[in-house]
Amino acid sequence: MKGWSLGRRLLQYGALALLFHLTSGCDRPAPSPSETRDQPKDAVGKPAKATDAPLVLVFGDSLYAGYGLDQGRGFAPALERALAEGSLPARVINGGVSGDTSAAALARLAFTLDGLPRKPDLVLVGLGGNDMLRGFQPETTRANIDAILTELDRRGIDAMLTGMLAAPNLGADYAASFNALYPALARRHDAPLYPFFLDGVLGRPALMLADGIHPNAQGVRAIVAKVTPLVSRQLQPSNRE
């Protein structure tokens, strides 16, 4: 993220924070453990099948889930297509749930992983936005994401973090604490970090849905163009040994 653009994006983000909080209440609530066993789907919405290709799970909230988009237009299928176009075919499974907090995601993590066809080669973790917009303490969010990454470590699964930024109307102290949790966790777990998932997209109407918060299909493609090189690097055979 460039400093000159980040300040502008944060001001726009703060103005939209209340709207995001209200719209997130319309999202589907996090599923119960029994529902979550059937939650992950592959890029075309069919049960994932075991293949020799790398298996990637994107595990997060509405930004991963493809909120407001037609099937096949969300982050998971777009990432799968981009990897294939880069000569790295991979199966990308959508483990995003709209409205998820870090605590809700932690509660469904084991069921999600156990429901996959095999152990994934990489899990992208994108959480914390709903915690922030609901005013949860950053220490709580950090502890939950830390627990998610610790479980992935325990299972021998590589992880990658995509971060979020606090809305400036929550105050400088809150923002400093919240924004710092992602790089701190990335260092702690030796995980690559994409600092701000909506970088270059937030505040640009042509790349956003009408709610001004979630990316449209074009916005998703812009995000994927930046994230794919990091994912591809992690999936190289030398990094998977």
Residues annotated catalytic, as ranges: 62, 211, 214
Cβ-contact 67, 210 below 8 angstroms: no
CA 143, distance to chain mean position in Å, is: 17
What are the C-alpha distances in Å from 84 to residues 77, 160, 161, 186?
A: 11, 19, 21, 27
Read off φ and ψ for residue 74, nearest 5 degrees: -80, -175
Specify the pairing of strand 193-194 against strand 91-96: unpaired
What is the CB-side half-sphere exposure of residue 110 using CA atoms within 13 A?
A: 7
DSSP result, 167-183: -GGG-HHHHHHHHHHHH
CB 116 within 8 A of CB 55: yes
